[in-house]
Amino acid sequence: MRRAVLTTVSTSTLILLLLTLKPHHSAGPADGTARSGVAPAATSAGTPRRGSGPANGTYTGAPIDTRYGTVQVEAIVRAGRLTAVKVLRSPSENGHDREIASYALPRLTQEALNVQSAHIDAVSGASYTSAGYVRSLQSALDRAGV
């Protein structure tokens, strides 16, 4: 199953960063399962843009179910660069989930934006994966074609 190309180095670096965050201790092997029956390519329903100049606009990511709840983000792209990430849905089943989400999602967003310009290939670090965030953002960026 193929998904849209990430055509810019900055965005690739961003995704690498997001994907390098470590799992928290209790993460199981099936964390971040896609909404049942919806394959990733189908969730990013927009036509991917390739080589057609910088993308502009707001792109909504697919809602991704994790064991802690649903995560959905929106990517705001200007001149082919990610400029903001808005969290549309985050886990809120109980106080602990809310606490994790309130800490982790802004952190992921800040890291995503900051590291775009750091000119690094990848990141090593002891954070935890928010796989739902990553995949929802991935699908938003697929739609943006950045």
Residues forming the site for other proteins (CB under 8 A): 1-9, 12, 15-17, 19-34, 39-40, 50-51, 100, 103-104, 106-107, 110-111, 113-129, 131, 134-135, 138
Shortest distance, position 39 Cβ to other proteins, whole Å? 7
Q: Give 60 or 105: the residue with its C-beta nearer to other proteins.
A: 105
Shortest distance, position 101 Cβ to other proteins, whole Å? 11
Tell me the two tokens of residue 95: 């106080």
Tell me the two tokens of residue 28: 């199981």
Shortest distance, position 88 Cβ to other proteins, whole Å? 20
Q: Give 33 or 58: the residue with its C-beta nearer to other proteins.
A: 33
Cβ(87)–Cβ(109) below 8 Å: yes
Q: Give 60 or 136: the residue with its C-beta nearer to other proteins.
A: 136
Helix axis angle for 131-144 and 95-115, nearest 10°, is: 40
Segment holding 135, helix H or strand E: helix 131-144
Q: Give 40 or 46: the residue with its C-beta nearer to other proteins.
A: 40
Cβ(143)–Cβ(72) below 8 Å: no
Cβ(10)–Cβ(81) below 8 Å: yes
